[in-house]
């Protein structure tokens, strides 16, 4: 975790979630207060102990309005999909203030090719890995038609092509991870 807090190190997980309906900021805020904020890391600051230099989590009062960003956007943006991609890219290069818990949600109220509105989540990597954070976000969402039901995700049919592709993808991830670790080790030495 210490490496994630070095000056100039912005290690964030940036992901987006599209909605079939228009965004409702008040509903989203209420949902976050009743779900994600119950997890200690989402309502804590990371503070370095002055004596030992150890980073620890310190609970704090969270003002949800400091974490929800809703920029004023022109609804007639010429290329909304490109805008969202560029917006996400810019988020990965700007830091989150360390005076608040290390996450935010940007609500982009523009229609794209796949959604009526888009939520862009940015989490500092010290909160967790991408898979666990997205699983948490999905677990906190609900269908608009049935507020007790979690959303359904599209599932593709299993085929031989997918199995072969999955095998090579796993092998590629393993290889790239090995190379990245080796490069890190050689850089440190």
Catalytic positions:
125
SS3 54: coil
Q: Are strands 103-108 and 117-124 parallel, antiparallel or unpaired?
A: antiparallel
d(CA 118, CA 125): 21
Instruction: Give dist(CA 86, CA 70) in Å, integer.
Output: 16
CA distances (Å), origin 113, targets 73, 90, 118, 137? 16, 21, 11, 22
């Amino acid at each position: 975790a210490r490496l994630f807090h070095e000056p100039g190190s912005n290690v964030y997980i940036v992901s987006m979630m599209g909605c079939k309906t228009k965004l409702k900021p008040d509903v989203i805020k209420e949902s976050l207060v009743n779900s994600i904020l119950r997890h200690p890391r989402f309502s804590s600051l990371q503070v370095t102990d002055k004596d030992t230099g150890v980073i620890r989590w310190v609970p704090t009062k969270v003002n949800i309005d400091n974490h929800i960003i809703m920029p004023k956007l022109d609804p007639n943006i010429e290329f909304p999909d490109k805008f969202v991609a560029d917006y996400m890219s810019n988020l990965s290069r700007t830091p989150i203030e360390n005076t608040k818990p290390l996450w935010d949600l940007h609500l982009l109220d523009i229609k794209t090719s796949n959604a009526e509105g888009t939520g862009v989540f940015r989490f500092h990597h010290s909160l967790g890995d991408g898979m666990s954070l997205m699983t948490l976000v999905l677990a906190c969402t609900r269908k608009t038609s049935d507020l007790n039901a979690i959303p359904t995700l599209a599932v593709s049919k299993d085929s031989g092509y997918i199995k072969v592709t999955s095998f090579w993808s796993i092998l590629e991830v393993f290889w790239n991870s090995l190379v990245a670790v080796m490069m890190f080790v050689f850089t440190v030495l």
